[in-house]
Amino acid sequence: MLAIFQKCLAHPPEELNSPHAHGGIKKSAKQPQEILRDFHLYHPTASFSASFSGGAAIASAGADPRCSPLQQRLFCGLDEVYCIFVGRLDNLSSLIRQYGLCGKSSNEAVLVIEAYRTLRDRGPYPADQVVKDLIGSFAFVIFDNRVGSVFAALSEDGKIPLYWGIAAEGSVVISDDVDVIKGGCGKSFAPFPPGCMFHSEGGLKSFERPMNKMKAMPRVDSEGAMCGAFFKVDSCAKISSMPRVGSAANWSSWEEKL
Amino acid sequence: MLALFEKSVAQSPEGLRSPAVGGQENDVHGVVALLQHFSEVKERSVTISLGSACALAYSSVKYSPLLPLLFAVVDDIFCLFEGHIENLPHLKQQYGLTKTANEAIIVIEAYRTLRDRGPYPADQVVRDIHGKFAFVLFDNTSKSTFIAVDADCGVPFFWGADSEDHLILSDDVDLVKKACGKSFAPFPKGCFFTTSKGLQSFEHPLNELKPVPRVDSRGEVCGATYKVDSETKKPSGMPRVGSAANWSNNY
């Protein structure tokens, strides 16, 4: 699984970028086209890639008959929303009922697209609630071609390995294959923080503790060089929501404050 | 929209290839060059390449809302649909789909039913779809394709064979001309094309199709139109045998 988004589409956090390696071999970041080409070389059979003119590319190695249902890779494209899903959802049937889909032709990728579409169009629940409702070990990346936004999340148990990094020209690369990321991003990569979701507009947020901000902690790899950053929930810093004011306050300026 | 299939996936029928007359200067050769040309010419284009077997590309702008272009991927089945289905609610009910299903999803479901259970023959399934449409479907698991247009060919749809024997389909005649030179033709109406059985007519499924070479405005042979040959009939599915015969040999 591989997803590449250019800088204009997805704004990755700055701390992922580690361009200068102190000592050791300096690995340079690759261009998105080269990363895609390497991915195809790595998975020659049953792999496909979709490239969008807005500056995004998605590639998947296709259904592997050897892999168990716990680690399946699904790709789905409906109504200009594309989703790669890895893993499984335990409460799939109750979610299918909740979103009003028909059971026999809905797999996890179709459901996640429907959940994203409901969130985008009607927004009955906040995003962290929607992702918290998905029970299982999973990782998914959604690309919305109509709006041009990216939505990625990883379940809190972190059983599915997911990595993200920054390639040449600031494009974000998300993949479950660490070799692809290492080859493409040099030192500017890190494991995707479990229990978190990333949206191109909203940035990185934890869906377990949505009211707390995320803090980047620099990580050093085995060669002793700076290599991206771990993101952890900062239990002290909270995202400001409703300001505490007296009863005489004027609430009409609340919109601008947010 | 644009679809490219390799020879192993889609064998172009005889008669579509015309002897090379000498290409134009702005001819596009090769899969990669054609896809690149498509991305340059169309705005907001999406290109999907599935290994060497197949490549699809589309751009949703510049389509009338009455005959929209839809793309869907479910369960490793890719479908590009252009047009409009009139009996949409009836088909949704028949295939057991929800209210959010659009035309491309219905075609994918119809193909999946045909592939897995086969309750009706393929020509019956296509005949059941009423409307003005053209669709291209590619099944990545079995690497097979299913292409069809409606009985009156309400949507402009062309196909051709390029120099490397790839089958190229598009609704944009300039694109097909650039890729195939003279080896192209409008897709015959009332017909459908599959990997296993090639080109068949769904209006007259038991009759063979005959290629009729067509001549373009310059007087050169340019592909072929396919007409139903009312004389020749395909050998019927049921062989005439005595009562002691074993029918399981026919499967």
List of chain B residues whose C-beta atoms are within 8 Å of the C-beta of residue A104: 96
- Residues from chain A that touch B49, judged by Cβ atoms under 8 A, are 48-49, 51
The secondary structure of A22-57 as a DSSP string is SSSPPPPPPPHHHHHHHHHHHS-SS-EEEEETTTEE
When pLDDT is cut at 50, 70 and 90, the band that residue B240 belongs to is low
The closest of A230, A229, A231, A238 to A210, measured between CA atoms, is: A238
Give pTM, 2 decimals. Answer: 0.83
Say yes or no for a CB contact (<8 Å) between A105 and B97: yes
**Nearest in space to A46 (alpha carbons), one of B59, B115, B10, B138:** B138
Q: By C-alpha distance, which of A76, A116, A41, A58 is closest to B46?
A: A58
Summarised one tens digit per residue, pLDDT across range A98-153 is 988 887 778 889 999 999 999 888 888 888 899 999 999 999 999 998 888 899 99
**CA nearest to A107 within chain B:** B75
Looking at the predicted structure, is the pLDDT value of residue B143 above 60? yes
Judge whether residue A233 has pLDDT over 60.
yes
Does B41 contact chain A (CB < 8 Å)?
A: no
**Domains in chain B and their CATH numbers?**
2-233 (3.60.20.10)
B184-186: strand order across its sheet: A189-191, A163-166, A172-175, A2-5, A56-60, A48-52, B45-50, B54-59, B2-5, B167-170, B158-161, B184-186
pLDDT of residue A258: 46
Q: Please judge whether A78 and B51 are an interchain contact, meaning their C-beta atoms are less than 8 angstroms apart.
A: no
Question: pLDDT digits over A45-68, tens only?
Answer: 667 888 888 778 888 876 555 566
Could you give the C-alpha distances from A52 to A60, A147, B105, B186, B217, in angstroms and in order? 15, 13, 21, 28, 37
Segment B75-112, tens digit of pLDDT? 889 999 999 999 999 999 998 888 888 889 999 999 98
Query: Which of A45, A76, A81, A105 to mutate against chain B (most B CBs within 10 Å)?
Result: A105
**Closest approach of chain B CAs to the CA of A231, in angstroms?**
33
Which of B48, B50, B72 is nearest residue A78 as measured by Cβ atoms? B72
| ipTM of predicted complex | 0.80
Name the more confident of B118 and A109.
A109
A-chain residue closest to B46, CA distance: A52
